[in-house]
Amino acid sequence: MNILVNRAASSGHLRGPRRIDVRVLAATNRTLEREVNRGRFREDLYFRLSVFTVRLPPLRERPEDIPDLVRAFLERMGAAEDERLFTAQVYQSLARQDWPGNVRELRNYVERAIVLGNVAEASRANAPGTAANAGDPTKSPARMIDSHFKVAKEELISNFERAYLEQLMTWAAGNVSRASRKAKLDRMYLTRLLHRYEIKRDSEED
């Protein structure tokens, strides 16, 4: 696709058109042909974009990708050492999941597993209606609505922060500076969070 653009010089005057060569990649979870027929997507734009179409199957149709995705998530989170949590049995269990949220849901699962330090517990918490989450109002939709939205949200965030900080300080052996670097948090802000949740810290410096 060739596009003519005007380039402005530092003085503010136009120096004339310049030809550039660009490639447009677009993604959607909608059926664009149907959207065009319903008048909700421009037909001319559709034919400009749909030169080559690649269909990405949902995660439930490609469970063989799960181990590679998990490893990629762990590396991006700086938690490659936690791959030990994901045994062959765990991967078999993950392959049987429906994953309605696709790759984003898998990433959330991996994050919970790291925070909890236990994949089995994260798996049970991730499954609605199981005994593991029946007694926790922050994990059961039927119980969460017993509270106002704001209250339920604050409780969920509070539980997450406490669990994350406890795991973080265990990993850092109580060292606040090391923990702040791992979590990419300002050390003073981390100190205030630790004080709020009354989590023990052994040292401030390396």
pLDDT per residue over 138-197, tens digit each? 444 445 666 677 777 777 888 888 888 988 888 888 899 989 999 988 888 898 889 888
- Whether the per-residue pLDDT at 70 is higher than 90: the answer is yes
Q: pLDDT (tens digit, 9 = 90+) per residue, 119-139?
A: 764 544 444 433 334 334 444
pTM of the model: 0.46
Which residues contact residue 128 at a Cβ distance below 8 angstroms, ignoring those fewer than 6 apart? 140, 141
Q: Phi, psi (5° rounding) for residue 21?
A: -115, 115
Question: In angstroms, rounded to a whole number, what is the distance separating the alpha carbons of residues 170 and 156?
Answer: 21
**Is residue 129 left, alpha or beta, with left meaning phi > 0 and alpha meaning psi from -120 to 50?**
left
**What count of Cα atoms within 13 Å lies in the side-chain half-sphere of residue 26?**
13
Paired sense of beta strands 2-8 and 14-21, if any: antiparallel
Classify residue 175 by its DSSP letter. B
Cα–Cα distance, 66 to 63 (Å, whole number): 5
**Domains of the chain from N-terminus onward:** 2-49 (no CATH), 58-127 (1.10.8), 136-206 (1.10.10)
Write out pLDDT tens, residues 29-68: 788 888 888 888 999 988 888 888 888 888 989 999 999 9
